[in-house]
Amino acid sequence: MHFTEPVYRNPYWPTWPLLEVTRGCTHNKCKFCTMYKDVNFGVASMDQIEADLAEIATITPHARTIQLLSANPLALSYDRLAPILEKINEYLPNMEHIYTAGRVTDLRNKTVDQLRKLRDLGMDEISMGTESGDDWTLDRINKGYHANDIVEQCAKLDEAGIAYWHTFLNGVAGRSHSHEHAVNSAKIMSQTHPMLVGTGGLTLFPGTPLLDEAERGEFDPLTEREMLEELLLFVQNLTCDCSFITHHTVGGTNLTGPNFLERKDQIMAALQDGLVHANMDVLAWMRARKQTL
Ligand code: SF4
């Protein structure tokens, strides 16, 4: 098998197999991310892909799921992606679900009809690193798209019948725009139809422009309490029916699961309880030990 580090396996998708289709990230400019900073974006050759599929087929010939690597294989054009999906189906004839990650911008060069064909070839679930639905924040962190792009491109996925995830990056707007980040992200995500909304908490990793800015006093990070308050505000304003998972340890596994709207009051109660009872020093200690996003 061919793998280029770092390999990110989505912990909520089946663990195996993974197939390298691309290396790195086409964008590689988000101010909080260093994940692929040492990797030039590249596309695996069809020879490499076929060799890996042949190997997978000898080990798990009845595989029904597969995750494409790396950051955003969705960036490939329809004409490059479709033959790869066809090869997956050829080598693994029981394939049912082809998972991939992608950026909102990766959908711009695909029509609904092309997306529908990709879904028919098995690509039926996409994890979008959306992070925010607030234009000021999206510009601030250099995501490379705006809120209207999220709504516009996700509508194409809805029409094509492809399920998608949003992530909300708690804390990434800093103190000055925390309120707008929470409210506008919830508002924009609620204008779409995600199968899942997940949240992640900002950690300022060495080598990120955002940490440099924080050290120069140009970015004012939230405290753990403010992170929790922002997360609560986001949840309060989120109105789409979906699954919900969160990075936050407050409330343990109670916060994660299907039927968000049914559980919304319970999730908010757990976050409010966390604001009263959680040990913010311990939360800060845990965040300081994080190694990756
Ligand atoms: S957050 Fe995602 S899109 Fe942004 S640089 Fe990192 S991998 Fe690329």
**Angle CA 106–44–123, to nearest 5:** 45
Q: Whose CA is nearest to atom 6 of ligand 1?
A: 33
Strands 42-43, 22-23: pairing is antiparallel
Q: Which two tokens stand for residue 78?
A: 């329809």
Ligand 1 centroid–CA 272 distance in Å is 31
Reported confidence tier of residue 251, pLDDT bands at 50, 70, 90: low
What is the rounded distance in angstroms from the CA atom of residue 273 to the CA atom of residue 266? 10
pLDDT at 255 over 90: no
Reported confidence tier of residue 284, pLDDT bands at 50, 70, 90: confident
pLDDT at 252: 57
Reported confidence tier of residue 225, pLDDT bands at 50, 70, 90: very high
Reported confidence tier of residue 11, pLDDT bands at 50, 70, 90: confident
| Tokens 């033959």, residue located | 83
What is the rounded distance in angstroms from the CA atom of residue 66 to the CA atom of residue 80? 18
**Average pLDDT of span 33-37:** 93
Q: Please list every protein residue whose CB sits less than 6 Å from any atom of ligand 1.
A: 25, 27-30, 33, 35-36, 71, 103, 129
What is the rounded distance in angstroms from the CA atom of residue 266 to the CA atom of residue 253? 12
What is the rounded distance in angstroms from the CA atom of residue 226 to the CA atom of residue 192? 27
User: Which of the 8 DSSP states describes residue 202?
Assistant: -
Mean pLDDT is lowest, of 209-223, 246-260, 261-275, for 246-260
Distance of CA 58 to the CA centre of its chain: 31
Reported confidence tier of residue 293, pLDDT bands at 50, 70, 90: low
| Tokens 């800015």, residue located | 213
pLDDT at 27 over 60: yes
- pLDDT tens figures, 135-161: 999 999 999 999 999 999 999 999 999
| Per-domain boundaries in the chain | 18-288
Ligand 1 centroid–CA 32 distance in Å is 8
Q: Whose CA is nearest to atom 4 of ligand 1?
A: 30
Q: For a substitution probing ligand 1, which of 26, 27, 106 has the most ligand atoms within 8 Å of its CB?
A: 27
Q: Whose CA is nearest to atom 5 of ligand 1?
A: 28
Q: Which of 1, 194, 14, 195 is nearest to 96 (CA)?
A: 14
| 183 SS3 class | helix
Ligand 1 atom with least separation from CA of 27: 8
Q: What percent of the chain has pLDDT over 90?
A: 87
**Average pLDDT of span 257-279:** 92
Which amino acid is residue 224, in one-letter code?
Answer: E
- pLDDT tens figures, 39-58: 999 999 999 999 999 999 99
Ligand 1 centroid–CA 102 distance in Å is 9
Ligand 1 centroid–CA 33 distance in Å is 6
Domain 18-288 belongs in CATH node 3.40.50.620: no
